[in-house]
A and B are shown apart, each in its own frame.
Chain A
Amino acid sequence: MKMKRAKRIVVTVVILIVCYLLQCTIFGHLTLASIKPNLMLIVTASFGFMRDSREGMFVGFFSGLLMDIQFGNILGFYALIYLLIGFINGLFQHVYYDEDIKLPLALIAASEFLYGLIIYFLMFMLRSEFHFTYYLSHNIIPELIYTIVAALGIYPLILYLNHKLEAEEKRSASKFV
């Protein structure tokens, strides 16, 4: 059982780091209107509703921490935002089914919107930049759309990996019975 647990942690960390690296490097060159998708949010949200609040929290915390270390001004700022997003997504675990793709996409979109709002309020409005409609139409909404498009590609991948891990965990659990 411990092995399985370690394996899950390793796989999760690998997904996290790969997404972070893609986000900072390749997607930096594939921007549309200087907007790139938010892969870390996709990962955080999907671990939240696929597994539970706790895993969403941890994934969110570490992805936020990575950003804080490299790009943030204050350590722990992004970590807290992503942590909360992971937790909130975990609350929807009860109504989540693998076959349904509408709910995950809706949740990711909602998280992305929430994230955009939080960043705007904390990092821009407090510096008295009040053109909310501009930021909404040029940053928040485009990022949301691009993220959804990216989620169509990345979410099934995460789902597939999760399935495999869950199947293995079940098999080894039934062996003990």
Chain B
Amino acid sequence: MKKKNQTSSSNKYWLAGLSLFCILLMVLSLVSDKPEGPLKGIAGITVIPMQKGINQVGIWLGDISDNFDTLQDMKKENDRLQKKVDELITENNNLQEEKYELERLQELYKLDQNYADYKKTGAHVIGKDSGNWFSNFTIDKGSNDGIKVDMNVMAGSGLVGIVTKTGPTWSTVRSIIDDSSNVSGMALSTSDKCMVRGDLMLINDGRIRFEQMENNENKVQVGDQIVTSHISDKYLQGILIGYISEITVDSNNLTRSGYITPVVDFKNLQEVLVITTTKADLTGKEVK
């Protein structure tokens, strides 16, 4: 009995000690990001290489579980997609027309601003957040490859998120559907600014919310593009976020809000592009 009491009291010391250590770590990491440095290095040589390998197996398994979708679902999906293709073809024709018009007008105005010309580097997604509450993921490039915190991440033509953490050979990216993510966006057609907020409740619907768009006489409608705005201090201007799928005037009659369908398929991200210029580089000041 005596021995048991001894071990349980020493356990309490361990508990207190480790808890204190955790709290100390928290305080330290709030003050500076130095304590993480060596730990990141350790993770870089232990966990990350294995994550890279195993993730291939995961992708394969994911494919298999996708194959379980029944034929009926596939047929329905096919019908839906066929309709979509028809829609898109007409839309495309219209757009082509408009494009020629735009080119003509641009020539007239000598406008040649193309925001999509940022320098990018590709990276593989090697791991996802260990919990279900947040939507972070790790990529296989880190500070050794020139990745820095606050670099924007895209997939295809759409915005995926922002680098929040870098290790020597890996970095963590917070996606824009994450509940704690806020992106300053604007409607491409009218340049009305809004905040695009990630929301855990909408993750399964594949939508994100936008808020605080001024309720003025500018017509913003369903289907309009939302891009990152020029006032954001972290996100580069003009990266496509998605298309408005629903827009309503708020009860205060001053602002509008609604939902965006992002252009990126966040469920099946495998490769992403990291833009190697940050907004701070462009504006020439250190963002605090």
Contact = CB atoms under 8 A, between A and B. Distances in A.
A66 B42 CA distance: 10
Interface in B123-173: 126-134, 136, 138, 164-165, 167, 170, 172
A174 interface: no
Task: Sort chain A's interface into a size bin.
Answer: 35 or more
Contacts of B132: 34-36, 38, 139, 143
B179 A129 contact: yes
A141 to B, nearest CB: 11
A23 B137 CA distance: 12
B231 interface: no
Contacts of B23: 76, 80
Nearest to B204: A34
User: For the complex, would chain B's binding face be called helix, strand, loop or mixed by DSSP majority?
Assistant: helix
Contacts of B61: 26, 29-30
Contacts of B267: 34
A124 B179 contact: yes
A53 interface: yes
Interface in A82-102: 83-84, 87, 90
Interface string A110-139: 000000000100011001010100110011
Contacts of A87: 11, 15
Given A57-B14, A75-B36, A29 B59 contact: yes
For B46, B133, B138, B164, the residue with the greatest tally of chain A CB atoms inside 10 Å of its CB is B133
Interface string A17-54: 10011111111111001111010100000000000111
B127 A24 contact: yes
Given A21-B51, A83-B18, A76 B25 contact: yes
A66 B179 CA distance: 21
A85 B179 CA distance: 25
A74 interface: yes
Contacts of B264: none
B122 interface: no
Interface in A1-31: 17, 20-30
B11 A21 contact: no
Contact of A75 (B14, B28, B54): B28
A25 B43 contact: no
For A26, A33, A68, the residue with the greatest tally of chain B CB atoms inside 10 Å of its CB is A26
B73 to A, nearest CB: 16
A24 B130 contact: yes
B201 interface: yes
A159 to B, nearest CB: 22
Nearest to B40: A69
Contacts of B39: 65, 69, 75
Given A26-B61, A71-B172, A80-B22, A66 B201 contact: no
A84 B172 contact: no
For B25, B130, B170, the residue with the greatest tally of chain A CB atoms inside 10 Å of its CB is B130
Interface in B1-33: 7-8, 10-11, 14-15, 18-19, 21-26, 28-30
24 contacts: A22-B54, A24-B51, A26-B61, A28-B128, A40-B130, A52-B11, A53-B15, A66-B47, A70-B130, A70-B165, A71-B129, A71-B130, A71-B136, A74-B26, A74-B30, A75-B28, A75-B35, A76-B22, A76-B23, A76-B24, A77-B22, A87-B15, A127-B180, A139-B200
| Ranked 8 nearest A-B pairs via Cβ | A29-B62, A76-B25, A28-B128, A80-B22, A24-B127, A75-B29, A26-B58, A76-B22
